[in-house]
Amino acid sequence: MKQIKKKRWSDYLWIVSSTYFILGFFSIAYAWVGLLCLGTALIVSIAGGGKIWCNSYCGRGQIFMHVGNTFHLTRRAAPPRWLSSKFFRNTFLAIFLLTFAEVIYVTVLVAQGLQDMHQTIHLFWTFDVPWNWTYTEAISPVHAQFAFGLYGLMLTSLIIGIVLTIVYRPRTWCVFCPMGNITQMISKAKAKE
């Protein structure tokens, strides 16, 4: 008889990630919560947790598992080896960091009054998608500008991850996820201490 694995509280973190994306669709102010997820992964790794965040607590990875396993939206094909190559992972991390730096730069320009706030999210580092219905004056234009940029990054990675789940297998995104790559680098550096 097959033994049923008992669910832990952490098995439901996909609900938190899903809620993040849903709330960000209605109010860009919620995009700031994304920093909590990114920061927690780094703190856990720096504190000696290694990649436990990625392996046990990442709600986005759990979303990919649900898309693939629960909804059976996956081919279960092996992804190409180059996706997990060190060169690709580091190149993708560099693109992610440059894009995040651009988000900060544009936010600073808005803060200095040198540029108006863009009520768009930047998808796939290329497309500005209007997202103006999500902005309310409850947050300042500066805070909103950063939120639009962060939400665009987070939504881009979610879409890429879901597409890779469908085309290949669940959690294919995790092979080259920028946060996973950073936490792996932190783990390796801590192991050398």
For residue 3, the model assigns a pLDDT of: 67
The number of folded domains in the chain is 1
Residue 187 lies in a domain: yes
Residue 4 lies in a domain: no
Residue 141 lies in a domain: yes
For residue 190, the model assigns a pLDDT of: 84
Residues 89-142: tens digit of each pLDDT = 999 999 999 999 999 999 999 999 999 999 999 999 888 999 999 998 889 999
Residue 177 lies in a domain: yes
Residue 5 lies in a domain: no
Q: What is the mean pLDDT of residues 163-189?
A: 95
Residues 57-75: tens digit of each pLDDT = 999 999 999 999 999 999 9
CA dist 193 and 176 (Å) reads: 25
CB 34 within 8 A of CB 147: no
* Three-class SS of the chain: CCCCCCCCHHHHHHHHHHHHHHHHHHCHHHHHHHHHHHHHHHHHHHHHHCCHHHHHHCHHHHHHHHHHHHCCCCCCCCCCHHHHCHHHHHHHHHHHHHHHHHHHHHHHHHHCCCCCCCCEEEECCCEEEECHHHCCCCCCHHHHHHHHHHHHHHHHHHHHHHHHHHHCCCCCHHHCCHHHHHHHHHHHHHHCC
Residue 142 lies in a domain: yes
Residues 27-40: tens digit of each pLDDT = 999 999 999 989 99
What end-to-end distance do the CA atoms of the chain give, in Å? Answer: 46
Q: Is the CA virtual torsion 95, 178, 157, 171 positive or negative?
A: positive
Residue 145 lies in a domain: yes
For residue 191, the model assigns a pLDDT of: 82
Residue 164 lies in a domain: yes
At residue 1 the predicted structure's pLDDT band, cuts being 50, 70 and 90, is: low
Q: Which domain holds residue 160?
A: 13-191
